[in-house]
Amino acid sequence: MRTDTPAAIYRKDYTPPSHWISTVEMGFDLDPSATRVATRIVFERNHAGSDRTLTLYGDEVELVQLRMNGKALAKRAYQLEQGVLRIPSAPDDVVLEIETLIRPDRNTSLMGLYVSNGNFFTQCEAEGFRKITYFPDRPDVMAKYKVMLRADKRKYPVLLSNGNLIEQGDLGDGRHYALWEDPFKKPSYLFALVAGNLICQEEQIKLQSGRKALLQVWVEEGNLDKTQHAMASLINSIRWDEKRFGLELDLDRFMIVAVGDFNMGAMENKGLNIFNTKYVLANPRIATDVDYANIEAVVGHEYFHNWTGNRVTCRDWFQLSLKEGLTVFRDQEFSADMIGTDSGRAVKRIDDVRVLRQAQFPEDAGPMAHPVRPDSFVEISNFYTVTIYEKGAEVVRMYQTLFGRDGFRKGMDLYFERHDGQAVTCDDFRAAMADANGRDLAQFERWYDQAGTPRVSVTTRYDAGAHTYEMTLVQSGASTAGQEEKRPFLIPVSVGLLDGKGRDMPLSLGDAEEQPTTVVLELKARSQTFLFRNVMEKPVPSILRNFSAPVVLEYDYTDAELAFLMAHDSDAFNRWEAGQRLAMRRLLALTALSQSGDALQVDAALAESFSATLNDGELDPAFRETALNLPAETVVAEQMDVIDPQAIHAARRFLRQSLAKSLRPSLLNAYRDNAVNGPYSPDAASAGKRALRNLSLSYLGELDDEEIHALMQKQYDNANNMTDRMTALAALANSRAAGRAAALARFYSDFEQEPLVIDKWFSLQAMARTTDVAAVRKLMKHPAFSLKNPNRARSLIFSFCNGNPFRFHAIDGSGYEFWAEQVLALDALNPQVAARLARSLDRWRKYAPALREKMHAALKRVADSSRLSKDVKEVITKSLA
């Protein structure tokens, strides 16, 4: 059977390594078609290890030589099977010398050592180091590295690796060398080298302690005008970590390198972060406000890994969220602090929760559902998921919600005091938080080991005579694959009560003396009742303020209460949430009408609330923008028992059109009043105004009339930044405007030389309402399209399959056939990218029968292929299981 589940690895099977490593010395003779790697590893016995078998892993590397303690190792002294090299009964002290031969130019997986646009780069997380040499490639084996790079001087003038540059010079024959030494112990997944024709922006800064550090951002020639924002973001990250967590940069030199071919966002290699160009390069001509914000977040994220991930790393890959959840939480807080205002923080929080709901909730409800600390996996690359990252960040955030910022900081301090230089587990982090705050957090472990999104149902009862308000919270966990029953979680539920005027009531709960206006209820049992005293009138509850836990909250609000909260709640998150709930009700009702073939109609209530928000000059434009943005089609889909993408699309479009009709004058005002004058700046205030103005344009675009077409065209023609230009182009592309085709053509020719902008051009078209499978196939024939470059593949194929549900789920199944073809084509080149695409049909069982059958056929078609990677096989097998 081809669909057999490939072998899984289990967390419970963890065993310590037989040997530790003290030092690693490596020599690279870099050549695209034949790179020689000489590695010398000094091992010492780990007496806590299970046995004496020294185990090394290799993947598609040619083993040229293997010597142990100065002598060539006889064939019978080791076993080499399927990439695993075992030396049984190895002595206590071992020096291994290994020579391998690799072909970076043929490496399309972009793992290990590869070539991108003529330059060399590495990507070793999670298990890419074994594509360079045989090695105990597991994160708990840490070592100090010394690395010699040799290469043609003309083609590869720049030679970089982790740590400090010790020596460099000429080798005579047109080649040169550089010797690097990393003073810190690290696991092999943090190894990196870069060689090529690059230039850098650099800056010297003084750290908190007074030490100096050299910062560099390396790019290809021609991109030096796009490094400033990344550099500024790096400096801000360094300052922020000093201030908020007392963590200083521990190196004399810190480098960021941009590469155009990269599987993910970026990588935190010690002292030598390697970034997808998308998260480095920016100037007003090519980057949008969102790009600027993403660059700041990702630069921060990778920098913060220097402590949370690198100084303290993961014992094994099941602990991935130990570094990722924590580091995402840190980058979220950093971005929020960089905006600085309360309203800005709230908008950032809303954006983060949006991602969680749009991507993580469906994952948690689908066939790839897994706990934040998984129990097993087949291919670790498949576990760089929104659950590990975003839900993991929510889990970390809950410690802060429970203990406050100071308590959280105490926990962090203790974590570093105990574990600096070690490879540890999620339990160690939880223990540090518990011990620093004098709390028993045994129950909190369930957030790490139970998958699925818990539900919290709330009922309330007001006793007008006794002036008491009872709030009963009941939690339940949906069953997920292999976990039928869920034990109760410890859920922090942040609550406030609003009086009739919309003001926060002072809260008397239990015997507490103070009367805060927000309290965090700790829900521990399946059901618990909390009693508020001295409640002088029947309140409207504001529950799960600031989204205090990653749960689905159920409470039977009336429409009037939602409108009231939307207008008054002091918690900006819940003000937004109330509007979203109101909109979701309308969207679901409209979807049902569309399904039954009835005429679509909607009452005026939503438009009234939206109008009030839109016209409320007291509210920050960024907040107004997010409040007026309707839930995405995929979020609506998750609310349905049986998903009908066509009906959802019709419903959402209808609602947008009717809002645009009734709010037209206000939208035009907002459009006019939020123009940003002067030179472009990506700061949050300007970006917020642009966002509201552009949202107005996009609503108005639904009217598709000549006056609006003219507005789009004018904005396109006059834009002095990419945010405005892209919005205008998207509006044109989704309209019947006469200038539509011309604008698309002009955009292409204006930005032909900017790959990141051409990605936007593909992506915008892939998601346009008019783009069907045939149109996507045609775009694939465009000379600028290539499946080999992950950004380009994502910009067209992923944007279509994940970002255009209306067309992707065409009833004839043509979208699914296309998907199957592309998964197979990509898999032959780059399994990681293919496996991501493979997940687009994750939720197939939830669709209407006609679609479901066609999805099933497409999944089967992929499953039946005889040469699937482990990556794709795992995803497809789990989908079909």
724 binds, among Zn ion, ligand 0A1, none (CB under 5 to 8 A by kind): none
- Angstrom distance (rounded) from CA 585 to CA 118: 54
- Sheet holding 112-116: strands in order across? 112-116, 119-123, 193-196, 158-161
Instruction: Report the residue number, 382 or 546, with the smaller CB distance to ligand 0A1.
Output: 382
Least Cβ distance, residue 245 to Zn ion (angstroms): 16
Nearer of residues 261 and 577 to ligand 0A1, judged by Cβ: 261
Which of the listed partners (Zn ion, ligand 0A1, none) does 267 bind, with a CB threshold of 5 to 8 Å by partner kind? ligand 0A1
Please give the structure tokens belonging to residue 233: 């973001």
Identify which of residues 265 and 407 has a Cβ nearer to ligand 0A1 in the complex. Answer: 265
Q: How far is CA 516 from CA 398, 519, 530, 793, in A?
A: 19, 7, 15, 52
Choose between 324 and 379: whose C-beta lies nearer to Zn ion.
324
Q: How many residues bind Zn ion (CB under 5 A)?
A: 2
Give the one entry of ligand 0A1, Zn ion, none that residue 382 binds, where binding means its C-beta sits below a cut-off of 5 to 8 angstroms depending on kind.
none
Nearer to ligand 0A1, 110 or 640 (CB): 110
CB of 647 to Zn ion, least distance (A): 38
Q: How far is the CB of 305 from Zn ion (least distance, A)?
A: 6
DSSP letters spanning 628-647: HSPPPHHHHHHT-SSB-HHH
Give dist(CA 263, CA 123) in Å, integer: 9
User: What's the min distance (Å) between Cβ of 60 and ligand 0A1?
Assistant: 16
Of residues 268, 134, 189, 187, the one with CA closest to residue 20: 187
Q: At closest approach, how far in Å is the CB of 264 from ligand 0A1?
A: 4
Min separation Cβ 473 and ligand 0A1, Å: 34
The tokens of 241 are what?
């970590």
Report the alpha-carbon distance of residue 258 to residue 276 in Å, rounded. 6
**Nearest Cα to 94, choosing from 117, 71, 128?**
71
Residues 6+ apart with CB under 8 A from 304: 237, 241, 327, 330, 331, 334
Q: Which is nearer to Zn ion, 241 or 324 (CB)?
A: 324
Rg (CA), the chain: 28
Amino acid letter, residue 160:
L
Per partner kind, with CB cut-offs from 5 to 8 A, the member of ligand 0A1, Zn ion, none near residue 266 is ligand 0A1
384 binds, among ligand 0A1, Zn ion, none (CB under 5 to 8 A by kind): ligand 0A1
Residue 790 makes CB contacts below 8 A (sequence gap 6+) with 110, 261, 262, 263, 830, 833
Tell me 425's DSSP state: -
- Our CB check for ligand 0A1 shows the closer of 131 and 176 to be 131
Q: Which two structure tokens, joined as six digits, stand for 35? A: 């790179």
User: Running DSSP on this structure, what letter comes out for residue 12?
Assistant: G
256 binds, among ligand 0A1, Zn ion, none (CB under 5 to 8 A by kind): none
Decide which of Zn ion, ligand 0A1, none touches 475; Cβ closer than 5 to 8 Å per partner kind. Answer: none
Q: Find out whether 97 and 39 touch, Cβ atoms under 8 Å.
A: yes
Interacting residues toward ligand 0A1 by CB under 6 A:
123, 125, 263-268, 301-302, 324, 384
Residue 394 interaction partner, one of ligand 0A1, Zn ion, none, beta carbon < 5-8 Å per kind? none
Of the pair 176, 323, the CB lying nearest ligand 0A1 is at 323
CA distance 854 to 849: 9
For residues 704 to 743, the per-residue mask of contacts with Zn ion, x marking binding by CB under 5 A and - elsewhere, is ----------------------------------------
Task: Please report which helix (H) or strand (E) contains residue 829, including its range.
Answer: helix 814-829
CB of 486 to ligand 0A1, least distance (A): 28
Selecting among 302, 324, 394, 874, the annotated active-site residue is: 302
| Window contacting Zn ion (CB under 5 A); options: 195-203, 216-224, 325-333, 683-691 | 325-333
Peptide linkage before 560 cis (omega within 30 of 0): no
Residue of 78, 18, 81, 28 lying closest to 54 (CA atoms):
18
Told to judge if 302 belongs to the known catalytic residues of this protein, a careful annotator would answer yes
Smallest gap from residue 429 Cβ to ligand 0A1 (A): 17
- Which listed range, 326-334, 449-457, 464-472, 715-723, lies at the site for Zn ion (CB under 5 A)? 326-334
Which structure tokens are listed for 717? Answer: 């023609």
- Which amino acids are annotated catalytic? 302
- Which parts of this chain interact with Zn ion (CB under 5 A)? 324, 327
